[in-house]
Amino acid sequence: MAAQQGDRSALNQLLEQHYDRIYAVCRRLAGNDADASDATQEALLAIVRGLDKFDGRARFSTWSYRVATNACLDELRRRGRRPTPGLPEHETHDQAPQAGAPGVADTVADRLDLDAALAELPEEFRAPVVLRDQVGMDYAEIAETLSIPAGTVRSRIARGRARLAQTLLDSGNQDPPDQRRTEQP
Partner 1 sequence: MTSSDSFDRDELIAAYLDGEATLAERAQVEADPDLVERAELMRSVADMVAQPVNPAPAALRSAHIAAALEASSTTPVVTSLQAAKQRRRVDFTKVLGAAAAGLLVLFAGVAVLSSGNDGDDTATETSDQGTEETESFDFDTEEGVGGEDELSATEMPEAEGAEEEASDAEAVMEAPQAEADMGEADMAEDASDSTSAESSRGGLDGLFLDTAVIVVPTSDAFLDEVGRLVRDESGDGSSDDSGESIDVTEALCIEELLQYAGQDEIVAAGFAIIGGNNLEFVVVATDQGSVVITADAATCALENRRILNP
Among 68, 73, 76, 114, binds partner 1 (CB under 8 A): 114
Tell me the residue type at 142: I
Question: Least distance in Å: CB of 55 to partner 1?
Answer: 12
> Quick check: helix, strand or coil at residue 45?
helix
Q: Per rule CB under 8 A, is residue 17 in the interface with partner 1?
A: no
Residue 82: what are its φ and ψ, rounded to 5°?
Answer: -75, 160
CB atoms within 10 A of CB 173: 15
Q: To the nearest whole angstrom, how small is the minimum distance from the Cβ of residue 59 to partner 1?
A: 18
Distance CA 24, CA 173 (A): 22
Q: Which of 6, 56, 103, 172 binds partner 1 (CB under 8 A)?
A: 6
| Sole binder of partner 1 in the list 118, 119, 127, 146 (CB under 8 A) | 118
By the 8 A CB rule, do 137 and 62 touch?
Answer: yes
Name the segment binding partner 1 (CB under 8 A); options: 57-65, 76-84, 160-168: 160-168
Residue 134 CB, shortest distance to partner 1, in Å, is 6
Residue 92 Cα distances to 88, 89, 95, 173, angstroms: 11, 9, 6, 23
With beta carbons less than 8 A apart as the criterion, state whether 145 and 69 touch. yes
Could you say whether residue 59 binds partner 1 (CB under 8 A)? no
By CB under 8 A, residue 28 contacts partner 1: yes
Q: How far apart are CA 173 and CA 2, in angstroms?
A: 48
Smallest separation (angstroms) from partner 1 to the CB of 57:
16
Tell me, what DSSP letter sits at residue 49?
A: H
In the complex, the residues that contact partner 1 under the rule CB under 8 A are 4-8, 11-12, 15-16, 19-20, 23-24, 27-28, 36-37, 40-41, 44-53, 89-92, 110-111, 114, 118, 129-130, 132-134, 136, 138-139, 154-155, 157-159, 161-162, 164-165, 168, 174-179, 181, 183-185
